[in-house]
Copies of this chain bind each other. A is one copy, B any other.
């Protein structure tokens, strides 16, 4: 129905679908590494831990990249999803706050292999600035603007203590960063047009604790889990 050329970026993809595309991408990479060239929606859905109908609907938002009666070409679909997400190119990223978590993030190889390149590590603590982490020298937080301009950075990662998070976010936004991944246990407010995603380690544990408590409390039934695999 909709005329969609291969460079048509005007289609609207539901948020829920966008959040699953990286999972499909990972599953496809795993399949490709196993030497599998073609797969059905059922196969891929199993590998990704979702329902096959949901998978097909998700993929249909991207276009018709499968062949009825046959399935999907693993490499082709992988490329199409990568292109849609935008990870065929490398995204430069800065990490602010080189504590325990920042350390781990700087060393995380999954970033580079999935389309991201850490161009700088920043910290406000003079005791940390100058240290070498993951082969990179930690620079003072005030260098943020220079680094962002030099590498045209659009994505920033906050791994500072909670109290510093809002300040860092404000500074990032002022300099032109438009996407923030926040690991600090704090709500950061940003103006319209800036995306923030948050990852809170203890919140995830608390959610598990809630369900765990209910299991223990006898209760009536199993608390429907989110992605419980079959």
A180 → chain B closest CB, angstroms: 8
Chain B residues whose CB sits within 8 angstroms of the CB of A178 once the complex forms: 212, 215
Closest Cβ of chain B: how far from A71's Cβ, in Å? 19
Copies in the complex: 2
Find A226's partner among B15, B115, B199 (CB 8 Å cutoff).
Answer: B15
CA distance A155 to B216 in the complex (A): 13
Q: Say whether A154 faces chain B, with CB atoms less than 8 Å apart.
A: yes
Asked if B155 and A205 sit within 8 Å, CB to CB, the answer is: yes
CB-defined interface of A7-30 with B at 8 Å, one 1/0 digit per residue? 111100001001101110111000
Known: A225-B195, A228-B196. A85 touches B206 (CB 8 A): yes
The reply to whether A203 and B22 form a contact with Cβ atoms under 8 Å apart is yes
Minimal beta-carbon separation of A189 from chain B (angstroms): 4
Contact with B along A100-117 (1 / 0, CB 8 A): 110111011011001110
Residue in contact with A103 in the complex, picked from B104, B186, B193, B197, CB distance below 8 Å: B104
Q: Say whether A15 contacts B224, CB under 8 Å.
A: yes
CB-nearest residue of chain B relative to A198?
A: B227
A220–B107 Cα gap in the complex (Å)? 37
Interface segment, one of A34-42, A86-94, A122-130, A142-150? A86-94
Indicate if A181 sits at the interface (CB-CB under 8 A).
yes
Q: Select from chain B the residue with minimum beta-carbon distance to A11.
A: B223
Asked whether any CB of chain B lies closer than 8 Å to the CB of A188, the reply is yes
Excluding A9-B213, A21-B210, A100-B108, 15 further A-B contacts by CB distance (< 8 Å) are: A5-B227, A10-B219, A21-B206, A22-B200, A93-B205, A103-B103, A110-B201, A110-B202, A116-B202, A155-B209, A179-B211, A181-B205, A187-B229, A195-B208, A198-B227
